[in-house]
Amino acid sequence: MADKKKIRFIINPISGNGKKKGLTSLIAKTLDLDKFECSICYTEYGGHASKLAKEAAEEGIDIVVAVGGDGTVNEVARSIVHTDTAIAIVPYGSGNGLARHLRIPINARKSIQIINECEIHKLDYGKINGIPFFCTCGMGFDALVSRKFADAGKRGAASYVESAFNEVVKYKPETYEIEDETGKMSYKAFLITCANASQWGNNAFIAPHASMSDGQMDVIIVEPFNAIDVPEMWLQLYSKSIDRNSKIKTFRSRKIHIRRSMPGVIHFDGDPTMTSQDVTVEMIPKGINVVVNPNKHPTDDNDTERTAFDAVTDFINGIYDVRDDLRKGSKQLLKKLGM
């Protein structure tokens, strides 16, 4: 019998809704213990997952499983790039953008069953001002909302909607100078997203044709728009057709430099940080080992058309998610939204 692979689950106990009761028992029942020698650890503070993943790679652990949302995934992944250790994902976040792009089921048991298949691919990742990202990064409105969301200290869709609602009425689009290998262009933009993967999360496809194995990022520039444009843009996000909108400009590049009028906030996989007025984004080809769904190759995702039913279903489910969170609290938000 071949030697067992060493696997370590790094669990963020507060990601998503924080409910992970019975998870260790589920791992014991579902993980193929004939293939794996398993250990489990829990994060205790922000950044701890990164430390634990680095230690795992140094110990020669074959697979580190990030159990949490995109923030936890980023912490784990950035600590194992350019090592022999692979990352797997058991999604427990609010958006789960990278897991959804990779076609990892948003179900703990099913995602562990994917790990049992142990299909590992070398995929790309990116850096924004030297900070690794694996799904998307960017600046402008979504980066500002990410900072407000982080400062709020509350998780869940309702808190994110509240942050967005409070900011959108007063947000002023900025002018950005973007330089790539073809030259310089100036854009006035509501936001700029650089995408390694296809979506922000919750099946909102900001970069419908993005691939994690082509060595390039999809750059999406959202130009200023009016309130009347929002319903169409929102539905296009869920139907993989946002790139057809006249307010959206897209191109692909391996490396870009962005200059804005002043320092400000950026985000990497949804986590905000302040940085200078100059921002460099670049792709690192084949820099990380990832456990993928063997039945649904991530590069095939770009060629899969979504039906109108798919889009409307995800759109409605998103509304229900927000509604459920709102019912648990936030009477103030209900009053603001007139619901």
| Tens digits of residue pLDDT in 55-100 | 999 999 999 999 999 999 999 999 999 999 999 999 998 889 999 9
Band of pLDDT at residue 334, cut at 50, 70 and 90: very low
| Tens digits of residue pLDDT in 106-121 | 999 999 999 999 999 9
Q: What is the DSSP string of 248-272?
A: EEEEEESEEEEE-SS-EEEEETTEE
| Cα 178 to Cα 154: distance, rounded to the nearest angstrom | 34
Query: Quick check: 242 pLDDT over 50?
Result: yes
Query: Quick check: 1 pLDDT over 60?
Result: no
